[in-house]
Protein backbone atom coordinates (compact mmCIF):
# COMPACT_ATOMS: atom_id res chain seq x y z
CA UNK A 1 0.00 0.00 0.00
CA UNK A 2 1.21 3.52 -0.81
CA UNK A 3 1.29 5.03 2.68
CA UNK A 4 0.75 8.71 3.42
CA UNK A 5 3.61 10.00 5.56
CA UNK A 6 2.99 13.75 5.31
CA UNK A 7 4.46 15.89 2.57
CA UNK A 8 8.07 16.94 3.07
CA UNK A 9 8.18 20.38 1.46
CA UNK A 10 11.97 20.13 1.21
CA UNK A 11 11.64 16.94 -0.86
CA UNK A 12 14.31 15.37 1.32
CA UNK A 13 15.97 12.10 0.35
CA UNK A 14 18.38 12.07 3.29
CA UNK A 15 19.66 8.61 4.16
CA UNK A 16 18.15 6.87 1.12
CA UNK A 17 20.26 4.63 -1.11
CA UNK A 18 19.97 4.86 -4.89
CA UNK A 19 21.22 2.63 -7.69
CA UNK A 20 21.79 4.67 -10.85
CA UNK A 21 22.55 2.82 -14.08
CA UNK A 22 24.59 4.72 -16.63
CA UNK A 23 25.70 6.75 -13.63
CA UNK A 24 29.21 7.60 -14.80
CA UNK A 25 28.12 10.21 -17.34
CA UNK A 26 25.25 12.22 -18.77
CA UNK A 27 21.85 12.30 -17.08
CA UNK A 28 22.87 9.46 -14.77
CA UNK A 29 25.85 11.36 -13.40
CA UNK A 30 23.85 14.60 -13.08
CA UNK A 31 21.25 12.66 -11.09
CA UNK A 32 23.95 11.14 -8.90
CA UNK A 33 25.33 14.59 -8.09
CA UNK A 34 21.85 15.96 -7.36
CA UNK A 35 21.01 13.00 -5.14
CA UNK A 36 24.35 13.14 -3.32
CA UNK A 37 23.74 16.80 -2.44
CA UNK A 38 20.45 15.65 -0.87
CA UNK A 39 22.20 13.12 1.37
CA UNK A 40 21.59 10.00 -0.71
CA UNK A 41 23.98 7.06 -0.70
CA UNK A 42 24.92 6.41 -4.31
CA UNK A 43 25.69 3.24 -6.27
CA UNK A 44 26.89 4.08 -9.76
CA UNK A 45 26.30 1.10 -12.06
CA UNK A 46 28.19 1.59 -15.31
CA UNK A 47 30.26 -0.13 -17.99
CA UNK A 48 32.95 2.53 -17.65
CA UNK A 49 36.01 0.85 -16.09
CA UNK A 50 36.68 4.09 -14.17
CA UNK A 51 33.27 4.12 -12.48
CA UNK A 52 34.75 3.29 -9.08
CA UNK A 53 37.12 6.25 -9.39
CA UNK A 54 34.28 8.48 -10.58
CA UNK A 55 32.21 7.45 -7.56
CA UNK A 56 35.04 8.32 -5.17
CA UNK A 57 35.42 11.77 -6.73
CA UNK A 58 31.68 12.34 -6.39
CA UNK A 59 32.00 12.28 -2.62
CA UNK A 60 31.45 10.23 0.50
CA UNK A 61 28.92 7.42 0.56
CA UNK A 62 29.35 6.77 -3.17
CA UNK A 63 30.14 3.38 -4.66
CA UNK A 64 30.93 2.34 -8.23
CA UNK A 65 30.10 -1.12 -9.57
CA UNK A 66 31.60 -1.92 -12.98
CA UNK A 67 29.50 -4.09 -15.27
CA UNK A 68 27.33 -4.46 -18.34
CA UNK A 69 23.62 -3.80 -17.80
CA UNK A 70 22.91 -6.48 -20.42
CA UNK A 71 24.58 -9.12 -18.23
CA UNK A 72 21.66 -10.82 -16.51
CA UNK A 73 23.82 -11.47 -13.43
CA UNK A 74 24.69 -7.79 -13.06
CA UNK A 75 21.53 -6.60 -11.22
CA UNK A 76 22.14 -9.04 -8.36
CA UNK A 77 25.77 -7.90 -8.17
CA UNK A 78 24.72 -4.25 -7.94
CA UNK A 79 22.05 -4.90 -5.30
CA UNK A 80 24.41 -7.04 -3.21
CA UNK A 81 27.05 -4.29 -3.30
CA UNK A 82 24.52 -1.68 -2.25
CA UNK A 83 23.16 -3.73 0.63
CA UNK A 84 26.65 -4.60 1.84
CA UNK A 85 27.76 -0.96 1.81
CA UNK A 86 24.56 0.83 2.87
CA UNK A 87 22.25 -1.85 4.36
CA UNK A 88 19.45 -1.51 1.82
CA UNK A 89 18.44 -0.09 -1.58
CA UNK A 90 15.51 2.36 -1.69
CA UNK A 91 15.70 3.86 -5.18
CA UNK A 92 16.52 2.72 -8.70
CA UNK A 93 17.13 5.11 -11.59
CA UNK A 94 17.42 3.28 -14.91
CA UNK A 95 19.42 5.78 -16.96
CA UNK A 96 21.69 3.65 -19.17
CA UNK A 97 20.80 3.88 -22.85
CA UNK A 98 21.95 4.25 -26.45
CA UNK A 99 20.56 5.47 -29.76
CA UNK A 100 21.09 4.07 -33.27
CA UNK A 101 20.15 6.58 -35.96
CA UNK A 102 18.80 4.78 -39.01
CA UNK A 103 15.71 4.72 -41.20
CA UNK A 104 13.18 1.96 -40.60
CA UNK A 105 13.82 0.36 -43.99
CA UNK A 106 17.57 0.11 -43.49
CA UNK A 107 18.32 -0.47 -39.79
CA UNK A 108 20.23 -3.71 -39.28
CA UNK A 109 19.40 -6.52 -36.91
CA UNK A 110 22.46 -5.85 -34.74
CA UNK A 111 21.58 -2.18 -34.18
CA UNK A 112 17.94 -3.06 -33.51
CA UNK A 113 18.78 -5.82 -31.03
CA UNK A 114 21.44 -3.79 -29.22
CA UNK A 115 19.11 -0.81 -28.80
CA UNK A 116 16.25 -2.93 -27.47
CA UNK A 117 18.55 -4.96 -25.21
CA UNK A 118 20.25 -1.97 -23.56
CA UNK A 119 17.34 0.47 -23.43
CA UNK A 120 14.43 -1.85 -22.70
CA UNK A 121 15.46 -5.37 -21.69
CA UNK A 122 18.30 -4.30 -19.39
CA UNK A 123 16.04 -1.71 -17.74
CA UNK A 124 13.38 -4.35 -17.23
CA UNK A 125 15.69 -6.92 -15.64
CA UNK A 126 17.32 -4.32 -13.37
CA UNK A 127 13.88 -3.07 -12.28
CA UNK A 128 12.65 -6.64 -11.84
CA UNK A 129 15.58 -7.51 -9.59
CA UNK A 130 15.27 -4.33 -7.52
CA UNK A 131 11.49 -4.71 -7.33
CA UNK A 132 11.76 -8.31 -6.07
CA UNK A 133 14.35 -7.19 -3.53
CA UNK A 134 12.05 -4.42 -2.28
CA UNK A 135 9.04 -6.76 -2.07
CA UNK A 136 10.97 -9.44 -0.19
CA UNK A 137 12.39 -6.89 2.27
CA UNK A 138 9.20 -4.81 2.73
CA UNK A 139 10.80 -1.62 1.40
CA UNK A 140 8.61 1.27 0.24
CA UNK A 141 10.85 2.02 -2.70
CA UNK A 142 10.87 4.13 -5.86
CA UNK A 143 11.89 3.22 -9.38
CA UNK A 144 12.34 5.81 -12.12
CA UNK A 145 12.91 4.59 -15.67
CA UNK A 146 14.38 6.83 -18.34
CA UNK A 147 12.06 7.04 -21.33
CA UNK A 148 12.02 9.86 -23.90
CA UNK A 149 9.79 12.12 -25.92
CA UNK A 150 10.65 9.56 -28.61
CA UNK A 151 8.47 7.09 -26.73
CA UNK A 152 5.46 9.35 -27.25
CA UNK A 153 5.93 10.72 -30.77
CA UNK A 154 7.61 9.51 -33.95
CA UNK A 155 11.06 10.86 -34.82
CA UNK A 156 12.81 10.24 -38.12
CA UNK A 157 15.70 7.75 -37.98
CA UNK A 158 14.74 6.72 -34.42
CA UNK A 159 12.72 3.57 -35.08
CA UNK A 160 14.59 1.33 -32.62
CA UNK A 161 14.93 4.11 -30.07
CA UNK A 162 11.24 5.03 -30.28
CA UNK A 163 10.28 1.36 -29.91
CA UNK A 164 12.52 0.89 -26.87
CA UNK A 165 11.32 4.05 -25.11
CA UNK A 166 7.67 3.34 -25.86
CA UNK A 167 8.27 -0.05 -24.27
CA UNK A 168 9.74 1.64 -21.20
CA UNK A 169 6.57 3.70 -20.75
CA UNK A 170 4.32 0.63 -21.03
CA UNK A 171 6.59 -1.43 -18.75
CA UNK A 172 6.52 1.34 -16.14
CA UNK A 173 2.71 1.36 -16.06
CA UNK A 174 2.48 -2.41 -15.56
CA UNK A 175 5.08 -2.40 -12.77
CA UNK A 176 3.29 0.48 -11.04
CA UNK A 177 -0.02 -1.38 -11.25
CA UNK A 178 1.37 -4.66 -9.92
CA UNK A 179 3.70 -3.30 -7.23
CA UNK A 180 1.64 -0.48 -5.74
CA UNK A 181 0.22 -2.88 -3.16
CA UNK A 182 3.77 -3.38 -1.87
CA UNK A 183 4.36 0.36 -1.41
CA UNK A 184 6.60 0.61 -4.49
CA UNK A 185 6.13 3.52 -6.85
CA UNK A 186 7.30 3.26 -10.46
CA UNK A 187 7.45 6.23 -12.84
CA UNK A 188 9.36 7.31 -15.90
CA UNK A 189 10.79 10.58 -17.20
CA UNK A 190 10.71 11.48 -20.90
CA UNK A 191 13.12 14.28 -21.79
CA UNK A 192 13.64 16.14 -24.99
CA UNK A 193 17.24 16.67 -26.13
CA UNK A 194 19.41 17.04 -23.03
CA UNK A 195 22.66 19.00 -23.21
CA UNK A 196 24.98 16.38 -21.83
CA UNK A 197 28.42 16.05 -23.42
CA UNK A 198 26.93 13.75 -26.07
CA UNK A 199 23.93 16.04 -26.45
CA UNK A 200 26.18 18.98 -27.29
CA UNK A 201 28.10 16.92 -29.86
CA UNK A 202 24.92 15.76 -31.57
CA UNK A 203 22.83 18.95 -31.46
CA UNK A 204 25.10 22.00 -31.36
CA UNK A 205 24.81 23.67 -34.74
CA UNK A 206 22.23 24.26 -37.49
CA UNK A 207 20.28 21.01 -36.98
CA UNK A 208 19.81 21.71 -33.29
CA UNK A 209 18.94 25.34 -33.92
CA UNK A 210 16.21 24.29 -36.35
CA UNK A 211 14.84 21.75 -33.85
CA UNK A 212 14.69 24.35 -31.07
CA UNK A 213 12.58 26.64 -33.26
CA UNK A 214 9.89 23.93 -33.27
CA UNK A 215 9.76 23.84 -29.46
CA UNK A 216 7.64 26.22 -27.36
CA UNK A 217 10.57 26.47 -24.94
CA UNK A 218 12.95 27.45 -27.77
CA UNK A 219 15.73 25.59 -25.96
CA UNK A 220 16.92 22.13 -24.94
CA UNK A 221 17.06 20.76 -21.40
CA UNK A 222 20.01 20.86 -19.03
CA UNK A 223 21.00 17.65 -17.19
CA UNK A 224 20.21 19.21 -13.80
CA UNK A 225 16.62 19.85 -14.88
CA UNK A 226 16.12 16.15 -15.53
CA UNK A 227 17.84 15.22 -12.27
CA UNK A 228 15.52 17.56 -10.35
CA UNK A 229 12.45 15.86 -11.84
CA UNK A 230 13.81 12.43 -10.93
CA UNK A 231 14.52 13.58 -7.37
CA UNK A 232 10.97 14.92 -7.01
CA UNK A 233 9.48 11.62 -8.21
CA UNK A 234 11.55 9.78 -5.58
CA UNK A 235 10.50 12.13 -2.76
CA UNK A 236 7.50 12.04 -0.44
CA UNK A 237 6.16 15.03 -2.34
CA UNK A 238 5.31 12.59 -5.14
CA UNK A 239 3.74 10.01 -2.85
CA UNK A 240 0.56 9.76 -4.97
CA UNK A 241 2.36 9.65 -8.32
CA UNK A 242 2.93 6.21 -9.79
CA UNK A 243 2.70 4.82 -13.29
CA UNK A 244 3.25 8.31 -14.65
CA UNK A 245 5.31 9.38 -17.64
CA UNK A 246 6.67 12.84 -16.88
CA UNK A 247 7.42 14.68 -20.12
CA UNK A 248 10.26 17.18 -19.73
CA UNK A 249 10.25 18.32 -23.33
CA UNK A 250 9.80 22.07 -23.42
CA UNK A 251 6.33 21.52 -24.82
CA UNK A 252 7.52 19.75 -27.99
CA UNK A 253 5.00 16.89 -27.82
CA UNK A 254 1.95 19.10 -27.27
CA UNK A 255 2.04 20.23 -30.88
Q: Which residues contact 219 (CB under 8 A, 6 or more apart)?
A: 212, 250
What pLDDT score does 198 carry?
86
What is the reported pLDDT for 1? 62
Please check whether residue 20 is in contact with residue 32, taking contact to mean a CB–CB distance below 8 angstroms: yes
pTM: 0.95
How confident is the chain (255 residues) per 10-residue block, as mean pLDDT? 69 94 97 96 98 95 97 98 97 96 96 97 98 98 98 96 98 98 98 93 92 94 96 95 98 94
206 located within any domain: yes
29 is annotated as an active-site residue = no
Task: Indicate whether 55 belongs to any domain.
Answer: yes
210 located within any domain: yes
| Domain assignment of residue 2, yes or no | no
In a domain, 149, yes or no: yes
48 within a domain of the structure (yes/no): yes
CATH number at residue 230: 3.40.50.720
Domain total in the chain? 1
Residues whose CB is less than 8 angstroms from the CB of residue 140 and which lie 6 or more positions away in sequence, other chains included: 2, 3, 134, 183, 184
| Within-domain flag for 228 | yes
Model pLDDT, residue 12? 84
Residue 170: burial class (beta carbons within 10 Å; 0-12, 13-18, 19+): middle
Residues 6+ apart with CB under 8 A from 247: 149, 152, 190, 253
Does 75 fall in a domain? Answer: yes
Q: Residue 141: what pLDDT?
A: 97
For residue 141, the Cα-to-chain-centroid distance in whole angstroms is: 15
225 vs 10, 44, 57, 94, 236, CA distance in Å?
17, 20, 22, 17, 19
Which residue range forms the structural domain that includes residue 197? Answer: 17-249
Cα atoms in the Cβ-side hemisphere of radius 13 Å centred on 109: 0
Q: Name the active-site residue from 4, 74, 161, 182.
A: 161
Amino acid sequence: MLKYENVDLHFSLQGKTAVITGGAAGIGYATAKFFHDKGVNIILADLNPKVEEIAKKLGENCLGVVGNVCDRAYPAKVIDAGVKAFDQVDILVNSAGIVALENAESIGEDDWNRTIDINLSASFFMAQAVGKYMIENNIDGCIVNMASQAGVIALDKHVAYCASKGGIIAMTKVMAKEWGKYGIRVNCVSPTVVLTELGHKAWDGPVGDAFKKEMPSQRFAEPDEIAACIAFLCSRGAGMITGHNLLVDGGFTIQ
